[in-house]
Amino acid sequence: MQADNEDYELKQAKDMAAARKRWEALVRDEKVKVLTPSQAGYAIQLSNKTLLDVRPSTERKKAWVKGSTWIPIFEVDNRLDSGTVSRKVTSFVMGGWWSGTPTLSYDSQFLSKVEEKFPKDTDLIVACQKGLRSLAACELLYNAGYRNLFWVQGGLEAAEEEDLVIEGPQPIKFAGIGGVSEFLGWTDQQRVQAAKEGWGYRLLYSARLRLKSGLILFAKVGLFLVADALFLGAQRVGSYIQELRSH
C-alpha cells in the first residue's frame, strides 16, 4: 500500500507540473483573460457576466458570490473502495488533519453540466477558492469550445469585502480553511483578519468554533451512549429469552 501511495503522489506531482505549463500558456496567449476579484465584481455588476463557481461543496456552503452558478469541477470523494480509503489516509497523515482539506475527485460530468446551462458564446468568469482549480476548469472549457473565458486570479480568497457581493455564514476568505488549524485560529486568513480587527475577533471566532465543535462532540458522544445502551439492552433481552428457554 505504501508503494502504491508513493507512486500516486509522484504521478500527481508530475501531472500538476505539466498542467501548470499548459495553464500558463493559456493565460500568456490570452486564450483565458485574467481578472482581479475587484474587476470580476465590476464585470458582474456592469456587464451581467456570469460567475461560475467551481469549488467543492465544503467551500461553497460556507460562502458564495450572490447570483453565481455553482458547478464543482472536483467534489468530495465519499467512496469507500480500497484506493480511495488509502488516499484519504495518506492525505490525513500528510497534513489533512491540520488543514481539514478533504479528498477530492474530478467530476466527469463537469463539462456536460456546464454545457447544459451555458452556450459556447457565454461570457464566463470562472472562480475557485485559490485560483488553481478554476484554471483547470478554464482549460477544459476552452478545449470544449468556450472562447469568452475570464479567470479570477488568486481566487475568491483574494477578494476584499467591497469587491463582490457575498452570501453565506462565513467570510469568503475563510471558506477554504478547516481542520485543527481553523479550530485554533492559526490559519493565515485568520491572522490577517485578526490584524485588521484586533485579537478580540480571533478570540470570538475561536470561541465560536470551539462551541460548535463541542456541540458536535456532545452529539457524537450522545449517539454512542444511546447505541451502547441499545446494545446492552439487546444483550439482556437475549439472556432473558435464553433463561426462559432453559426452563
Per residue, the 3-state secondary structure of 139-159, as one string, reads: HHHHHCCCCCEEEECCCHHHC
Any domain includes 226: no
Exposed, middle or buried: residue 177 (CB in 10 Å: 0-12, 13-18, 19+)?
buried
* pLDDT higher at 158 or 225: 158
Mean pLDDT of 81-92: 60
Q: Which three cell numbers stand for residue 26?
A: 493559456
Helices within 48-81 (DSSP H only): 57-60
Mean pLDDT of 154-177: 94
> Residue 104 pairs with which residues in a beta bridge?
76
Any domain includes 139: yes
User: Edge-to-edge, what's the strand order for the sheet holding 33-35?
Assistant: 33-35, 149-152, 124-127, 50-53, 69-70
By the 8 A CB rule, do 121 and 147 touch?
Answer: yes
Domain hosting 110: range is 2-168
Any domain includes 195: no
Any domain includes 189: no
Statement: residue 27 has pLDDT above 90: yes
CATH number for the domain that contains residue 59: 3.40.250.10
Statement: residue 237 has pLDDT above 60: no
Mean pLDDT of 71-95: 69
By the 8 A CB rule, do 72 and 55 touch?
Answer: yes
Share of residues in the chain with pLDDT > 90 (%): 50
Considering the candidates 128, 156, 166, 172, report the single residue annotated as catalytic: 128
Any domain includes 176: no
Question: What torsion, rounded to 10 degrees, do the Cα atoms 72, 76, 79, 85 define?
Answer: 140
pLDDT value at position 231? 42
Dist. CA 98–CA 108, nearest whole Å: 29
Any domain includes 187: no
Give tens-digit pLDDT for 131-144: 999 999 999 999 99
Give tens-digit pLDDT for 170-182: 999 999 988 877 7
Please count the structural domains in the chain. Answer: 1
Alpha carbon distances (Å) from 244 to 234, 235, 237, 238: 15, 14, 11, 10
Any domain includes 51: yes
pLDDT band of 102, cuts 50, 70, 90: confident
Statement: residue 200 has pLDDT above 70: no
Q: Which three cell numbers stand for residue 27?
A: 493565460
* pLDDT higher at 218 or 176: 176
Asked about 128 being catalytic, the answer comes back as yes
Any domain includes 208: no
- Entry pTM: 0.74
pLDDT value at position 86? 64
